[in-house]
Structure 1
Amino acid sequence: MNLSIDVLEKDNCSTVRLSGEIDVYTANKLKTRLIPLTEREGTVVEVDFSQVRYMDSTGLGVFIGALKSTKKHSSHLKLTHLNRRVLRLFKITGLNEIMDIEER
Structure 2
Amino acid sequence: MTNFEEADQGSHVVLAPEGKFNLVVAPALKARIEDLVASGKTKILVDLHAVDFIDSSGLGALIGGLKSARQNGGDLRIAAAGVQVLAVLKLTNLDRILSPFATVEEALNDW
> What range is the shorter-chain TM-score in?
0.7 to 0.9
Maintained 8 Å contact 1:3/1:20: no
TM-aligned CA deviation for residue 100 of structure 1: 3.2
Maintained 8 Å contact 1:83/1:103: no
Q: How does 1:8-47 map to 2 (within 5 A)?
A: 8-39=7-38, 43-47=42-46
Q: How does 1:1-104 map to 2 (within 5 A)?
A: 4-39=3-38, 43-103=42-102
Q: TM-score, normalised by structure 1?
A: 0.85
- What secondary structure sits across from 1:82 in the alignment? coil
C-alpha offsets along residues 36-89 of structure 1, whole Å, 9 cap, x if unaligned? 223455732111111111111111111110111122101111100000111111
Bigger Cα displacement from structure 2, 38-47 vs 61-70 = 38-47
| Equivalent AA in structure 1 for residue 100 of structure 2 | I
Maintained 8 Å contact 2:7/2:13: yes
Q: TM-score, normalised by structure 2?
A: 0.80
- Which 4+ stretches in 1 moved above 3 angstroms? 38-43
Q: Percent identity?
A: 26
d(CA) in 1 for partners of 2:49, 2:97: 21
If each structure's strand is expressed as a fraction of its own residues, which one has the higher value? 1
- What secondary structure sits across from 2:24 in the alignment? coil
d(CA) in 1 for partners of 2:102, 2:83: 8
Note the aligned Cα RMSD (angstroms): 2.0
Q: Which runs of 5+ in 2 are unaligned?
A: 104-111
Size of the aligned set, in residue pairs, is 103
